[in-house]
Amino acid sequence: MSLFTEKYNIHTHSFYCGHGSGTIAEYVRHGQENGLGLIGFSEHCPFEDGFLYRSRMSFERMKDYERDVLSQREEASIPVLLGYECDYFPRYRDYFSSLKDSGRVDYLITGTHFIIRKDGTRVSPFSDRLSEEDVLCYRDQMAEAIQSGLFSFIAHPDLYMAGFSQWNETMQKVAKEIITLAMEYSLPLEINANGFLKPEVDGRPPYPYEPFWQLAGRMGARAILSTDAHKVANLTRNKDRLEAFAAKCNVNLIRPAFKNGQLEWDS
Ligand SMILES: [Zn+2]
Ligand SMILES: [Zn+2]
C-alpha cells in the first residue's frame, strides 16, 4: 500500500466560498512549501438560480474563481487543478454535465451536504440530528450522484454519521450500499480530515467515521485522502492522522495523477 497523502490535496476551498479564508495564491504557495506535488481547488459549485446560496460563491463569481486558479497554474511549480464540489440533484444534471464538458474545469467532485426530504424541507448532517428516513434519503441522493457519471470522487461519503448516533442495521446497510455502488462505478471514496477539526459528536469526530471505513477496508474499496481545507494553515494539517486512520481501517489508498488534461488514479 502506498501512502502519498502528503503529496496531494485535491479537495481545497478558499475565501471564494464565503465560509473559508485564504487566496488561491496563498494555498498554492503553502502547498509548494509543504511538499505537495499536486493541488486541486474544488469550491462549492454555485447554481444559476441561487439554490444553496448561503454556502457558496455567487454564480457570477465563478469566472473570477476560474481565472484566478488558471493564473496561479501559470506561476506554480506543481500542477494546479480547477474543479468544483457539487451538491447533486437530478434537476441540475444538465447544468453539471455542461460544466464538465465545457472545457473550463479539470474535474468535478460530489458531496452530499444537504438532504431534501420528500416534503421539500431541508436538513444537513452538519447541523441536524437525522432520522433514519433522512439517512435513506441521503443514500438515494448519493446514489443518484454516483450514477450520474459526472464526478471524479465522492467527498466524505460517511458524513451521514455526523448527524446520526447509532451504527445500527440501517446505517450499516446504507454504508454497504454506498460503498458497493462506488466500487461498481470505479469511483474512489474520500476520507476527509476536516471532521477532525469539528466539535465532537458523541465523543468522537463527526467524520471520518471509523466503522464505515472498517467496512470499506473489508470490502476492498479504493480511497483517497483530503483535508478539505477552508484555511491555508489546514491544507496539509492532520495528514499523519489521516494516514494512520486509513492504515488502521486497512483501506486501499490510491494516488491521483494529472495526465493529458485528466484526473486519473494509479490503480
Ligand atoms: Zn465548505
Ligand atoms: Zn469541501
pTM of the model: 0.95
Distance 154 CA to ligand 1 centre (A): 15
Confidence label for 262 from pLDDT (cuts 50, 70 and 90): confident
Task: Give the pLDDT of residue 266.
Answer: 84
Residue 261 binned pLDDT confidence (cut-offs 50, 70, 90)? confident
Task: Tell me the CA–centroid distance for residue 230 and ligand 1, in Å.
Answer: 7
User: How far away, in angstroms, is 180 Cα from ligand 1 center?
Assistant: 26
Question: Which CATH architecture describes the domain 5-265?
Answer: Alpha-Beta Barrel (3.20)
What would the mean pLDDT of 163-177 be, rounded to a whole number?
96
Angle at 237 between CA 39 and CA 127, to 5 degrees: 95
Alpha-carbon distance of 98 to 88, in angstroms, equals 14
How far apart are alpha carbons 17 and 129 in whole angstroms? 25
Write out pLDDT tens, residues 2-37.
445 558 999 999 999 999 999 999 999 999 999 999
Cell of 209: 467515521
From the CB of residue 78, how many other CB atoms can be counted at a distance below 10 Å? 16
Q: Burial of 199 by CB count in 10 Å (0-12 exposed, 13-18 middle, 19+ buried)?
A: exposed
Q: What whole-number percentage of the chain has pLDDT above 70? A: 98
pLDDT given at position 1: 39
Q: Any idea which ligand is nearest the CA of 155? A: 2
Q: Which ligand is nearest to the CA of 54?
A: 1
CA distance 39 to 37: 7
DSSP the chain: ----GGGEE--B--GGGSS----HHHHHHHHHHTT-SEEEEEEEPP-TT-TTGGGS--GGGHHHHHHHHHHHHHH-SS-EEEEEEE---GGGHHHHHHHHHTSS-SEEEE----EE-TTS-EE-TTTSPPPHHHHHHHHHHHHHHHHTT--S-BS-GGGGGGS-----HHHHHHHHHHHHHHHHTTPPEEEEGGGGGSPPBTTB-SSS-HHHHHHHHHHT-EEEEE--BSSGGGSSTTHHHHHHHHHHTT-EE--EEEETTEEEE--
Mean pLDDT computed over every residue of the chain: 95
The pLDDT value recorded for residue 2 is 44
pLDDT digits (tens, 9 = 90+) for 79-131: 999 999 999 999 999 999 999 999 999 999 999 999 999 999 999 999 999 99
Average pLDDT over residues 133-139: 98
Across the range 160-178, mean pLDDT stands at: 97
CA of 87 to the centre of ligand 1 (A): 11
* Segment 195-220, tens digit of pLDDT: 999 999 999 999 999 999 999 999 99
User: Cα(96) to centroid of ligand 2, in Å?
Assistant: 17
Q: How far is the CA of 77 from the centre of ligand 2 (A)?
A: 24
Q: Find the 195 Cα to ligand 2 centroid distance in Å.
A: 11
Distance from the alpha carbon of residue 41 to the mean position of ligand 2, in angstroms: 9
Ligand 1 centroid vs 246 CA: distance in angstroms? Answer: 23
CA of 206 to the centre of ligand 2 (A): 15
Q: Minimum-distance ligand to the CA of 14?
A: 1
